[in-house]
């Protein structure tokens, strides 16, 4: 063992001989390296990623075009599905539904959703397809609870009425007080989603539920009984025309009156069933809350308190996002660090092994 | 070389003059690498690669971890070991001829001694060649040697002594 940087004379002499005669580089190579160093070791030009894709460009352009068109179609169809009001007629304010409007609903434009699958027969009137129609009739119900500020109750109540009117519905009943209010609305079924969207903008939505009830069998049964009565009436009319005696005539007329009354009753029943399918029941409850959202159409009174709440909310969301990102990145960073250390150690060991095996 | 080299960024680390380091160490790095690899072609490539890596990594130079030469030779060592690992090029080093006729008797004698040492060195294992080349061709002191090899200073001194002892024996065996 020797002290650092000192060797015994016989070894130091060898060192001197080595120092005197180190391997020298080729002069031409040295000049070239000097030039490269003076130029800052320029990198060879990199191949552009586009150059890599060059052979595939022929197929790439049509593929990208097709993808764009497909995206466009999907986007348009999605937008079409979401705008459920576009196909509906604007029969605003109609409290009563006439027979003609029932007919238009039967065409499938505005009534409850239709389905082509067969339904099971009901006890009264058979299957929906038994009379040649396979539409399904559904009663749709929705319940919405909105939180509003006490001072906005009245304004929001007016907004609820306005939505019902604009969407072609009507208010079946309503109660409004300082504490809030309740509204029973009838909205054309085809416009239910749009109406709910409008109503949801009026305040902070505390709850929103929707349900539906299939009344196809009920509808089919009512119409069947009506047709039956109408056929009976036609028969009675024929019998009346053929009646020869006074007694016979009076008897047929009495039966006709009974059948006419029954037809009126059955027609009203059929209309009620159709109306139930054509109009959705929407219950809106207004709840007065201090922290309720400001309704849309507020008169621009955006207070410093509102600003503070908004700012806090923005900070909350930003902090949440940062936390999620951190939660995702931290393990990745740890894994990356461990991987880098392992790779470094492995590389070191491989190099040392290469030296031993040379 | 007339142009002054600048690291990739204008704000290079304090204490690293790459231009001066290049001028001072070019031949030494080459001598070390060729002694280790036994191939002039490979040594040229590896030396150029080492300087290029050093130029690109100039920002990562930390004076607290050693001098610029130790840092540079560490990079050169890694590049040389990578070349060894790839193992593509075999040794093709040919010893330079001794011009004994043109020299005086004493100079000729010295030249022969140098040739003998060079031949003996070429026969040593790579680890011994490496430590000797770092010491006598690159001119590193034991502290720098330790930094390049990743060992303690005393361990570096021990490795050097053992390598030189082997070299002495190899020279004696050849004479």
Do A142 and A282 form a contact (C-beta atoms < 8 A)?
yes
Nearest to A21 among B3, B34, B114 (CB): B114
Nearest to B51 among A7, A29, A37 (CB): A37
Q: What is the ipTM of this complex?
A: 0.80
Rounded Cα–Cα distance for residues A225 and A330 (Å): 72
Give A270's pLDDT tier (boundaries 50, 70, 90).
confident
Q: Is A27 on the interface with B (CB under 8 A)?
A: no
**Lowest pLDDT segment from A61-65, A219-223, B47-51, B160-164:** A61-65
Rounded Cα–Cα distance for residues A166 and A322 (Å): 43
Backbone angles phi, psi at A43, to 5 degrees: -80, 150
| Exposed/middle/buried for residue B31 (C-beta within 10 Å: 0-12, 13-18, 19+) | buried
Query: In a 3-state reduction of DSSP, which class is residue A149?
Result: coil
Per-residue pLDDT tens over the stretch A298-349: 555 778 888 898 999 999 999 999 999 999 999 999 999 999 999 988 888 8
Per-residue pLDDT tens over the stretch B121-133: 989 998 999 999 9
Q: Residues A271-282: what's their mean pLDDT?
A: 88
Give me the pLDDT at residue A277, please.
87
Rounded Cα–Cα distance for residues B130 and B110 (Å): 24
| Interchain proximity A354–B84, CB inside 8 Å | yes
Give A220's pLDDT tier (boundaries 50, 70, 90).
confident
Per-residue pLDDT tens over the stretch A103-119: 333 333 334 444 433 33
Give me the pLDDT at residue A325, please.
94
Rg over alpha carbons for chain B, rounded to the nearest Å, is 18
Rounded Cα–Cα distance for residues B126 and B35 (Å): 9
Quick one: what percent of chain A has pLDDT higher than 70? 75
Rounded Cα–Cα distance for residues B31 and B138 (Å): 7
Stated pTM of the model: 0.48
Per-residue pLDDT tens over the stretch A31-72: 999 999 988 888 877 766 666 666 666 677 778 888 888 887
Give me the pLDDT at residue B90, please.
52
| Interchain proximity A354–B81, CB inside 8 Å | yes
Give me the pLDDT at residue A119, please.
37
Give me the pLDDT at residue B60, please.
84
Q: Is A34 on the interface with B (CB under 8 A)?
A: yes
Distance from CA of A28 to the nearest CA of B (A): 11
Could you tell me which residue, B12 or A51, shows the higher pLDDT?
A51
Distance from CA of B23 to the nearest CA of A (A): 9
Give me the pLDDT at residue A291, please.
55
User: What token pair was written down for B86?
Assistant: 């790839």
Give A182's pLDDT tier (boundaries 50, 70, 90).
very high
Distance from CA of B38 to the nearest CA of A (A): 10
What value does the mean pLDDT of chain A take? 78
Task: Report the residue of chain B nearest A12, measured CA to CA.
Answer: B164
Give me the pLDDT at residue B102, please.
53
Rounded Cα–Cα distance for residues A81 and A73 (Å): 12
Query: In a 3-state reduction of DSSP, which class is residue A23?
Result: coil
Give me the pLDDT at residue B30, please.
94
**Lowest pLDDT segment from A218-222, A237-241, A333-337, B86-90:** B86-90
Could you tell me which residue, A2 or A20, shows the higher pLDDT?
A20
Judging contacts by C-beta atoms under 8 Å, the chain B residues touching residue A27 are none
The pLDDT of residue A282 is above 90: yes
Give B9's pLDDT tier (boundaries 50, 70, 90).
very low
Rounded Cα–Cα distance for residues A238 and A91 (Å): 40
């Amino acid at each position: 063992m020797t002290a650092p940087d000192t060797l015994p004379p016989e070894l130091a002499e060898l060192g001197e001989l080595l120092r005197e005669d180190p391997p020298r580089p080729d002069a031409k190579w040295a000049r070239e390296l000097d030039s490269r160093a003076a130029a800052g070791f320029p990198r060879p030009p990199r191949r552009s990623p586009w150059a890599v894709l060059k052979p595939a460009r022929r197929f790439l352009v049509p593929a990208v075009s097709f993808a764009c068109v497909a995206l466009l179609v999907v986007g348009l169809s999605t937008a079409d599905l979401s705008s459920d009001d576009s196909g509906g007629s604007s029969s605003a304010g109609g409290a009563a539904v006439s027979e003609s409007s029932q007919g238009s609903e039967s065409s499938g434009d505005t009534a409850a959703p239709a389905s082509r699958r067969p339904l099971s027969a009901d006890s009264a009137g058979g299957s929906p397809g038994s009379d040649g129609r396979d539409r399904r009739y559904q009663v749709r119900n929705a319940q919405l609870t909105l939180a509003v500020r006490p001072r906005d109750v009245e304004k929001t109540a007016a907004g609820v009425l306005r939505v019902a009117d604009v969407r072609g519905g009507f208010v079946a009943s309503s109660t409004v007080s300082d504490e809030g209010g309740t509204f029973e609305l009838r909205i054309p079924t085809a416009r239910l989603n749009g109406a709910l969207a409008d109503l949801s903008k009026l305040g902070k939505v505390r709850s929103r539920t929707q349900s539906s009830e299939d009344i196809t069998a009920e509808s089919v049964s009512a119409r069947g009984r009506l047709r039956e009565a109408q056929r009976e009436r036609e028969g009675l009319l024929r019998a009346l025309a053929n009646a020869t005696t006074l007694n016979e005539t009076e008897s047929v007329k009495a039966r006709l009156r009974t059948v006419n009354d029954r037809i009126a009753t059955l027609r009203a029943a059929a209309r009620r069933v159709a109306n139930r399918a054509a109009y959705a029941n929407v219950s809106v409850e207004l709840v007065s809350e201090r922290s309720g959202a400001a309704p849309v159409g507020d008169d621009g009174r955006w207070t410093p308190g509102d600003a503070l709440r908004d700012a806090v909310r923005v900070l909350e969301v930003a902090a949440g996002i940062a936390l999620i990102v951190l939660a995702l990145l931290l393990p990745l960073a740890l894994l990356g660090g461990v991987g880098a250390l392992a790779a470094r150690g492995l590389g070191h060991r491989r190099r040392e092994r290469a030296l031993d095996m040379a | 070389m007339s142009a002054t080299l600048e690291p990739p960024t204008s704000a290079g680390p304090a204490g690293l003059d790459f231009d001066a380091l290049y001028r001072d160490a070019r031949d030494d790095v080459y001598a070390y690498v060729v002694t280790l690899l036994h191939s002039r072609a490979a040594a040229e490539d590896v030396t150029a690669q080492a300087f290029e890596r050093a130029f690109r990594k100039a920002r990562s130079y930390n004076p607290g971890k050693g001098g610029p030469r130790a840092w540079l030779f560490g990079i050169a060592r890694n590049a040389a070991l990578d070349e060894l690992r790839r193992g593509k090029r075999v040794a093709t080093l040919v010893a330079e001829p001794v011009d004994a006729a043109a020299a005086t008797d004493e100079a000729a004698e010295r030249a022969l001694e140098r040739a003998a040492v060079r031949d003996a060195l070429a026969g040593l294992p790579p680890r011994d060649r490496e430590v000797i080349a770092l010491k006598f061709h690159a001119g590193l002191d034991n502290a720098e040697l330790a930094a390049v090899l990743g060992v303690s200073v005393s361990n570096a001194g021990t490795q050097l002594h053992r390598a030189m002892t082997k070299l002495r024996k190899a020279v004696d065996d050849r004479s």
